[in-house]
Structures are given as C-alpha cells and as structure tokens.
Amino acid sequence: MTLSGRMAIAGIGETDYVRGTDQSVLEMILAASMAAITDAGLTPADVDGILPPPGFVAWDEIAAHLGIKDVRYTTTPQLGGASPTAALVTAAMAISSGVARTILVPIGWNGYSALRPRPDARPSKRRFTAAFFETVRNFYAPYGLRSAPWWYALYLRRYVELYDVPPEAAGAVALACRDHARLNGKALMRDRPLTMDDYLASPYITEPLRKLDCCVETDCAAAIVVTSVERARDLRHRPVVWLGGAEGHASPADELTNRPDALRLGLHAAAPRAFAMAGVQASDMDFLQLYDCFTYVVLMQIEALGLAEPGGAADFVKGGTIGLDGRHPLNTHGGLMSQGHCWGMNHLVEATRQLRHDAGPAQVAGCELGLVTGYGDLGDGSVAILARGDA
C-alpha cells in the first residue's frame, strides 16, 4: 500500500495566541477543534478518529464535549513538538486502510499561564510528561540545567563553534519570523518590529542563545481535520494533499551527552524517507514551515533537510532567501518565534492556508508545494510534505 496522495487536510482552526487566558487547555482545544470541523463544512458527528496531543487532554474528553459518538480510532504520538506533524503518518495509515474516515488532530496548552499562575485563575492540573524529563531531573538539573534553553545549548553551542556560525545567521531567522508575523492578525508579536541591532543587543540566556533566539510562550490551541482526498474534494475547500511524511529519532532519545554525534537529529533520518515517499526534493518546496523553538534549531533543520551542507545554513539564510519574496519563504505566519508556540500545529494550519491560496498579505505567490517539520524533546524530528490539490 502506498500512502502518498491518499489523504488531505480538509479543515483548520486555531485560537488566538495570548499571554494569559481564562480558558482551560480543554476549552481552548475544543474551540480550535470545532473551528476546524466547521471550516471543513462538517459536524462533530462526521468525525470518527481523534489523535490527541501527548499530555494535557485525553481523546475521550474531546469526544464527550464535542458530541463525537462513534470514535473508531485513536492514538497519541509521543514526540513532544514533533507530535502534530508525525500524527499525519498515523492518520494517513488509518484513512488509507479504512480504519477511520475523518480524523481530528488537535493540540493546545497553557504554555504561558501555567508557568505564571494567577490568584484569580483556575489552577491547571495538566502537566506534560516525557521520559527525558527523568534524565533532566536526575542528571541535568543538579548542574543548573533546568529548562529548555540550557538543554538545547549543550549541542547548539557545539554546532556554532564547530562551523563558526555567526549570530547574524540566527538573527536572520528571528527577523524573518518577526517580519512575517506583522502580516498575521493572530500573531502575538505582530505589532513589535525587530531589527538586527535589536537582536544583537538582546541578552544571552545561555550561549549561544540570546533572548530573541527563543520562541514566545503562549496560551493557544490549533487543530486540523483530515480525510481522504476523494472526500475532501466534496467539502468546502480545495484539498491540501499529504504527499509524504516520516518521523526520526536521535539516539539515545532521552539523553544528549552520550550520543555518538550530538548534531545528528531525528530529521536527518526522517527527511530522506519523506522525500522518497512524496517523490520530490527539498529544493522543490515553495515554502518552509520549520519548527522554530530556537533559531539555531532552524539552521540545523535546513541542513538536515538537505537544503545546505553541514554548517552551510548561515549562507542559505542570507540575501532574503527566507523572506516572503525569497526562494524559500520561512514561517510565513511568524512561527513559534513570533506568532506563538502551539507545538508546531500552527505551522500545519499556515501551510494549509498557503496551499489554499488563502493566506492574505502573507501569501506566497502561486505556491504548489510546501513542507512542515516538527521538533520534539531532545531531537525527535518529523516532516510532512503537502501539495495544493485539485478542486
């Protein structure tokens, strides 16, 4: 069985991206899910599969509150921020085999307010858990490495020093995301312009990461609805066809310091498989929606995708290549860096808008092919290759 070209994204939905909300994670996920179902021209009764996010909310809560009575298939990918994109492989298998007909893939979290509880807000009892947190708690935290910038810096510092990566390369990523966020009415940082001088003046969190190398913390949710290409053609929007995808994992998955090659990401393994399935190359992509938890992670993914040689991403991002009018526009919604951190589901939502040719002032002219990556935990990687389908 081939999976390529058999599934399409038929509906998308997202909440606002805010710092501080009165809604619970479940309420945000329900809002985004209902928006995606409605966008597809469907009702909850049409959904028979749910792929919920790891942690926070279970499939049965979503089904009960939306009134989805016949759930034929459910599972949860466990790849952190790589989960939404990786979930499409599972969805494609379920739809192609007839296990499910229409699948909801939602995600959401209180990535800002849960870390800053207010006296007047309902406390959240939801906590994301992953195996690597035990490694962090026992082996990293005692040495002061207590959050993501410190963990990631263990290999990002090596990347910078090994290839002599200038800070302006990371700055180019930050500026592109901010420029594109200014075109997105839902982007958290839409009204905050950014210059290279601003970027270089931002304080270090831990070298090489400056404050403006880090994604923004937000409360938000987003969702997509997928179904067969044939069924999607009868729904409200032009189908966005899934041509291929894959996931990959660094080894050992839950630990950084004992890896034979700290700079080998899961995406290095996933990307060739995805391109082979889709029958296209990285250079064919009209836009890139790359998981941008940190700017340097974007640079490393550009290389893992084969768009640049190891250490060559710094040259790749020069000269407007990743701008809206460039050869490979990057994160046209603002990304995690400037729209909001929704575990990369907002990247899938934006890719769908682009391929529908419905992205407004951020539209990449005439785009037909696009790519989305996910990045999770300490190097998990996923990729989805999407195409504009027939009406």
Residue-wise pLDDT tens for the chain (391 aa)? 689 999 999 999 999 999 999 999 999 999 999 999 999 999 999 999 999 988 789 999 999 999 999 999 999 998 999 999 999 999 999 999 999 999 999 999 999 987 666 666 555 555 555 667 788 888 889 988 888 999 999 999 999 999 999 999 999 999 999 999 999 999 999 999 999 999 999 999 999 999 999 999 999 999 999 999 999 999 999 999 999 999 999 998 888 888 999 999 999 999 999 999 999 999 999 999 999 999 999 999 999 999 999 999 999 999 999 999 999 999 999 999 999 999 999 999 999 999 999 999 999 999 999 999 999 988 999 999 999 999 8
**Terminal-residue alpha carbon distance, the chain:** 25
Burial 109-137 (b: 16+ CB within 10 A, else e): bbbbbbeeeeeebeeeeeeeebebeebbe
The token pair that represents 245 in the structure block: 């995808």
Can you name the residues that pair with 225 across neighbouring β-strands? 11, 104
Residue tagged 């831990």 (tokens): 206
In angstroms, the Cα distances linking 282 to 116, 278, 301, 308, 373 are: 40, 11, 12, 10, 12
Judge contact between 185 and 307, C-beta under 8 A: no
Identify the pLDDT of residue 371.
98
Angle between helical axes of 345-356 and 83-97 (0-180°, round to 10): 60
Determine the Cα–Cα distance for residues 26 and 3; give it in Å rounded to an integer. 32
All domains of the chain, ordered by start, with CATH? 7-115+215-388 (3.40.47.10)
In angstroms, the Cα distances linking 320 to 134, 179, 180, 327 are: 42, 12, 13, 8
Identify the pLDDT of residue 55.
79
Determine the Cα–Cα distance for residues 215 and 262; give it in Å rounded to an integer. 22
Identify the pLDDT of residue 114.
78
Across the beta sheet with 49-50, what order do the strands follow?
A: 73-74, 49-50, 102-110, 219-228, 7-14, 240-248, 380-388, 369-376, 287-289
DSSP string over 162-229: HHT--HHHHHHHHHHHHHHHTT-TT-TTTT----HHHHHHSPEEETTEEGGGBPPP-EEEEEEEEEEH
| 3-class state of residue 235 by DSSP | coil
- Sort 380 into a burial class: Cβ within 10 Å, 0-12 / 13-18 / 19+: buried
Q: Are strands 102-110 and 49-50 parallel, antiparallel or unpaired?
A: parallel
pTM of the model: 0.96
Identify the pLDDT of residue 254.
80
Identify the pLDDT of residue 70.
96
Backbone angles phi, psi at 307, to 5 degrees: -80, -15
Identify the pLDDT of residue 256.
87
